[in-house]
Chain A
Amino acid sequence: MLEIKDLHVTVDGKEILKGLNLSIKAGEVHAVMGPNGSGKSTLSFTLAGRAGYDVTKGSILYRGEDLTALAPEERAAKGIFLAMQYPVEIPGVTTLTFLKASLNAQRRARGESELDAMSVLKLVREKAKLLNIPEEMLRRALNVGFSGGEKKRLETLQMALFEPALAILDETDSGLDIDALKLVAEGVNAMRSPDRAMLVITHYQRLLNYIVPDRVHVLAGGRIVAEGGKELAHELEAKGYAQIIKDAA
């Protein structure tokens, strides 16, 4: 599904990713763990196609296609979804309006027919129920005044709505209390499927108690320095990043 080879990424003239390799097959859930400043957010923004994240070397293949030349909206239409660490507030655009615009834009790009307002509402309601998102929240401006938990729940709702082939979750646990974390993790787990790959990016092991990964990668200094099964996350929690990175060197 996703094949990253020798990826070098520069942000503001500074090289952040320095030869990252990562491969994820359909049906798998991979975790990328790393300390602050290791390049976790750079990886997620690069995959989503954010301007200013320049790939200077290496390749990203998604379903065999080179991603680097595609605009963010083209990647979204092809099934890539990034659940952001800090979902952006957009005053004046209601959540429902936004959901309809984005869902239909993706459908249009794929040559599918657009859904009318009623069909979108029905679909959104159905998914919102599972995530405990009240209808009132959908009528508020997008993310404006939402609590941390509400924002992450809304990100999860979008993932459920768009049904991406590759879901990237950037620090989804940050700012969540344990109840909110469980709710979000349930939503994510419900999306696990043989056709879908997930990349869970996190600093802490806590989230991985709820979303159990098939593989764990340790990111440090812009490269993957260690890899293993889900037990690697526990080892990291016990020993700390410094020790694991030292062991790997």
Chain B
Amino acid sequence: MNAAMPWLDARRAEALESFRLKGVPHRRIEEWKYSDVRSVIGAEEIAAADTAKWQIEGETADVDVVDLSGEIPQWARDRFAMLGLHNAMESASLAFAKGGIAMRVTGNKAAGPLRLNWSGHGHARVFIVLEEGASLTLVEKHAKARGLRNIGTEILLANNAQLSHIAVAEKSDEAVGVETITVKVGPDARYNAHFANFGARLSRFDITVTLEGEGSEARLSGVSALGGGTHADVTTHIIHAVSHTQSVQLFKKVAAGKSRAIYQGQITVREGANGSDSRQTAKGILLGERAEIDLKPELEIYADDVKCAHGAAVGDLEAEQLFYLRARGVPEAEARNLLIRAFLEEAVLEIPEEAIRAEVWREVEAALEHLV
């Protein structure tokens, strides 16, 4: 992305313009109501930020991996940065990033698991293409950081492709982490994602999935276990663009101390997307009087014969469950721990790959150790 590329320069100029116009997201913008980026970082600082560092681990024989700090590969050119600018932070990532990573899997190959490890701070772009019938398992890990890490990720899934995407954001008190993920899911393709977010000064995964092929599917899940003064926001927008598409979401959050966990989930079923099936569940347990959990499901349905089931609830641990365990001899702290783990585990069990599930679960347990 360093070399002059006229086709890209135009897109980046547009992104810069968009960032300038929109400005840094703040709480009076409805979608950023719970994540006031402007209160933690200014426009100049965002513009001056460096480029975040990445490193790939795992078997890459079946994957074309390209470092975007150089030339953008031919296969990416007509598609890169074409999914639209979803928010000011994504615009900033395109305008200011000097690098990032592109990955492609072709021809019915099943690749991964690959690990994409982020370190340092600054902007970066990620571009993932799974061609027809290809599949990939990708674990994306955000290591602790100081300051801004702002990633703009585009994912294109062709017919029958499958991406299993597990993103883990480590607890990072001083980080401002935003990753904007835009996914297009083709016919019979599937986007399976899990977001485990352990909190930062400000942390947001902002995911837009368009189910644009018949038979396409998105399964999103996630957990947050927060303490101290940390913040973790997972905002999703699922668009059922055509008929016979399916989405399932399950998010679980616990918040202790003065932390704040957020889930915003918008579902749009477009006109003509008949026979779509959309399920969405978000639940939170507050572990402290000063903690906050905001769950905001939102449904927009313009089609007929649609199945939509959604539920959101925040509460305390169930007093009856707690008493039952204690009456059988389990001490209060252990009983609370058992109930909280059971609560979060349901969402972690959505991760299909056993080894990765176990790894995420260990992170959850480590986070809980400091909370319960």
Chain A's nearest CB lies how many Å from the CB of B325? 7
Shortest distance between the CB of A140 and any CB in chain B (Å): 13
A contact residues around B321 at 8 Å (CB): 88, 90
CB within 8 Å for A72 and B323 given contacts A101-B330, A102-B329, A162-B329? yes
Nearest B residue (CB) for A94: B342
When the two chains form their complex, are residues B326 and A92 in contact, meaning their CB atoms are under 8 A apart? no
Known: A72-B323, A88-B320. A105 touches B331 (CB 8 A): yes
Interface centre among B319, B327, B342, B345 (most CB of A within 10 A): B327
Interface of B: prevailing SS: helix
Residues in A94-134 with C-beta less than 8 Å from chain B: 98, 101-103, 105-106, 109
> Judging by beta carbons under 8 Å apart, are B342 and A102 in contact?
no
Stretch of A76-84, A207-215, A226-234 contacting B (4+ beta carbons < 8 Å): A76-84
In the complex, which residues 37-80 of chain A have their Cβ closer than 8 Å to any Cβ of chain B?
A: 48-51, 71-73, 75-77
> Contact between A105 and B334 (Cβ–Cβ < 8 Å)?
yes
With A and B bound together, what is the CA distance between A162 and B321 in angstroms? 19
B319 to chain A, nearest CB (A): 7
Contact of B174 with A by CB under 8 A: no
Given A88-B320, A90-B321, A105-B331; A73-B342 close (CB under 8 Å): no
What is the distance, in angstroms, from B202's C-beta to the closest C-beta of chain A?
A: 30
Residues of chain B lying within 8 A (CB to CB) of residue A148: none
Is the CB of B303 closer than 8 A to any CB of chain A?
no
Residues facing A in B323-349 (CB within 8 A) are 323-332, 334-335, 338-339, 341-343, 345-346
A91–B342 touching, CB < 8 Å:
yes
Q: How far is B324's CA from A87's CA once the two chains are assembled, in angstroms? A: 8
A158 on the B face (CB < 8 A): yes
CB-CB under 8 A from A162, the residues of chain B are: 328-329
Q: Once the chains bind, are A77 and B327 in contact (CB under 8 Å)?
A: no
A90 touching B342, Cβ below 8 Å: yes
Instruction: Choose among B326, B334, B338 the residue that contacts A76 (Cβ–Cβ < 8 A).
Output: B326
B163 to chain A, nearest CB (A): 28
Question: Which of B338, B339, B341 lies at the interface centre, i.e. has the most chain A CB atoms within 10 A of its CB?
Answer: B338
With A71-B332, A90-B321 as known contacts, state yes or no: A48 contacts B327, CB within 8 Å: yes
A43 to chain B, nearest CB (A): 14
Known: A90-B324, A91-B346, A92-B343. A105 touches B330 (CB 8 A): yes
The answer to whether B332 and A109 have CB atoms under 8 Å apart is no
Bound Cα distance A42, B345 (Å): 34
Total A residues in contact with B, Cβ cutoff 8 Å: 27
Indicate if the CB atoms of A51 and B331 lie closer than 8 Å.
no
Instruction: Using CB atoms, name the residue of chain B closest to A109.
Output: B329
Are A102's CB and B323's CB within 8 A?
no
Specify which of A76, A91, A92 is in contact with B328 (CB 8 Å cutoff).
A76
CB-CB under 8 A from A84, the residues of chain B are 324, 327
Give chain B's interface residue range (CB within 8 Å of chain A).
Answer: 20 to 34
A93 in the interface (beta carbon within 8 A):
yes
Task: Please give, as numbers and ranges, the residues of chain B lying within 8 Å of A101 by CB-CB distance.
Answer: 325, 330, 334, 338
Across the interface, which residues of B come within 8 angstroms of A93, CB to CB? 338-339, 342
Q: Give the contacts of A7-37 with B (CB-CB under 8 A).
A: none
Contact between B343 and A73 (Cβ–Cβ < 8 Å)?
A: no
Known contacts A88-B324, A92-B345, A92-B346; A77 and B329 CB within 8 A of each other: yes
| B335 surroundings in chain A (CB, below 8 A) | 73
- Residues on B with C-beta less than 8 A from A158 are 328
Please pick, from A51, A88, A92, A106, the residue contacting B329 in the complex, using a CB distance under 8 A. Answer: A106
A88 to B320, CA, bound (A): 7
Closest to B334 in A: A105
Task: Compute how far the CA of A197 lies from the CA of B326 in the bound complex, rounded to whole angstroms.
Answer: 21
B282 to chain A, nearest CB (A): 16
Q: How far is the CA of A73 from the CA of B323 in the complex (A)?
A: 9
Q: Is the CB of B329 within 8 A of A105?
A: yes
8 Å CB interface, B280-337 against A: 318-321, 323-332, 334-335
Inter-chain CA distance A49–B319, complex, in Å, is 13
Q: Which residue of B lies closest to A89 (CB)?
A: B321
List A contacts of B341 (CB < 8 A): 92
Residues of chain A contacted by B330 (CB below 8 angstroms): 73, 101-102, 105
Of chain A, the residue at the smallest CB distance from B343 is A92
Are the C-beta atoms of B323 and A50 separated by less than 8 Å? yes
A243-B227 Cα distance, complex, nearest whole Å: 60
Contact B325 A102 (CB under 8 A): yes
Chain B 67-88 against A: per-residue CB contact (8 Å), 1 yes, 0 no? 0000000000000000000000
A residues near B, CB below 8 A?
Answer: 48-51, 71-73, 75-77, 82, 84, 87-88, 90-93, 98, 101-103, 105-106, 109, 158, 162
15 pairs from A and B in contact (CB 8 Å cutoff): A48-B323, A76-B326, A90-B325, A90-B339, A91-B342, A91-B346, A92-B343, A93-B339, A101-B325, A102-B325, A102-B328, A102-B330, A106-B328, A158-B328, A162-B329
Residues in chain B within 8 A of chain A (CB atoms): 318-321, 323-332, 334-335, 338-339, 341-343, 345-346
Q: Which 3 A-B pairs have the closest CB atoms?
A: A92-B342, A76-B329, A106-B329
Known pairs A92-B345, A101-B334, A162-B329; list 20 more (Cβ under 8 Å). A48-B323, A49-B327, A71-B331, A71-B332, A73-B332, A73-B335, A77-B329, A84-B324, A88-B324, A90-B325, A92-B341, A92-B343, A93-B338, A93-B339, A101-B338, A102-B329, A105-B334, A106-B329, A109-B331, A162-B328
